[in-house]
Structure 1
Amino acid sequence: MSDNQMTVYGNLGTPVDLRESNGFAWAMFRVGSTPRYYDRQQGGWRDLETVWITVKATRALAQNAGASLALGDPVVVIGRLRTHSWQDRETGEQHRRDVLEATAVCHDLNRGTTEFHRNEPAATPEPAGGEGQAVAAFESTHVVDGAAPRGEPVAV
């Protein structure tokens, strides 16, 4: 069964709320999107009601969103729309919230510029023979397959 993806363009309406517990990171924020159309009768642009979407990101995406996004930033979010339901412990009342579980979040480059910084790769255990050290040392100082060493800009 396939899973549908949804794309939302808008502005960050709340600061990113980044939380971590037992090595698992998640972030929640809201994106507001105001549809516009040109009204020929009035001769100008008109705004419709703003649509607010709650976005949830997990793991590295959550950490990167927390480090990269600020209130009001124009963003593009791609993800799966999910419904979260829960019961209030005190009142017994049922609650429901639709949340966009993000698979990708980025600045909207139609409306500005941004700068990209690659995440450092996670440390992996070395094999017993020590061959990994020689390969890692070579890759970090030499161009491999036409690409610059990790962390360094590529001249185009």
Structure 2
Amino acid sequence: MNETMVCAVGNVATQPVYREMATGPSARFRLAVTSRYWDREKGTWTDGHTNFFTVWANRQLAVNAAASLSVGEPVVVQGRLKVRTELREGQQGRVSADIDAVAIGHDLARGTSAFKRTSRPEQAASPDRSEPHWETRPGGTPEGAGRAPQQQAEPAVLT
């Protein structure tokens, strides 16, 4: 499938709008992406043109985005670019650029964030995980580290 995947770094321009749809949760917000360049004459960084994208999130990403994002926060959005042209009678065609988000996160180059995992119903039912156990022992070494390998039978000595 030929899709245009983009990664946009910018600021949340509008408060996310969350809706419960028949197909599941959906959220949308506007993303402002401003280019910056070094102006040699002024000797400073200068803002260039600002592009605005409508970011669409679905399912659990929509729930988490609506709960996590606020206007002005720096974010990174990865998703499929959709350029749409809307024609209205008596008016010029209007072009909009939308991003159907696959991933959204805070831009940690510009601040800190505290991650909080959301619970899923299927995870709560099965506490047994296939992940390795990473806890450390009181001595400070990971569990299982420094342990002698299982003893194997001594090789037979031929005389």
- TM-score bucket of the superposed structures, by smaller chain: 0.7 to 0.9
Instruction: Go from structure 1 to structure 2 and tell me whether the alpha carbon gap of 1:46 and 1:2 turns closer, same or farther (over 3 Å shift).
Output: same
User: Gapped runs of 5+ residues in structure 2?
Assistant: 136-141, 143-159
Identity among equivalent positions (%) equals 36
- Structure with greater helix percent: 1
Question: Hey, what does 2:47 align to over in structure 1?
Answer: 47
| Greater mean deviation of Cα atoms: 8-17 or 31-40 | 31-40
Name the counterpart of 2:11: 11
User: In terms of Rg, which structure is larger?
Assistant: 2
TM-score (norm 1): 0.73
Match of 1:81 in 2: 81
Q: List alignment gaps of at least 5 residues for structure 1.
A: 125-132, 149-154
1:110 partner SS = coil
| Runs of 4+ displaced beyond 4 Å | 84-88, 91-96
Name 2:68's counterpart in structure 1. 68
The question of whether the paired residues in 1 share the 8 Å contact of 2:9 and 2:75 is answered with yes
Tell whether 2:15 aligns with 1:28. Answer: no
State how 1:89-128 maps to structure 2 within 5 Å: 96-123=95-122
What CA distance in whole angstroms lies between the structure 1 residues aligned with 2:103 and 2:26? 14
CA RMSD across the alignment: 2.8
Q: Secondary structure at the match of 1:106?
A: strand
How far residue 42 of structure 1 moved from its aligned partner, in angstroms, is 2.2
Residue 145 in 1 paired to residue 127 in 2?
no
What's the TM-score once normalised by structure 2's chain length? Answer: 0.71
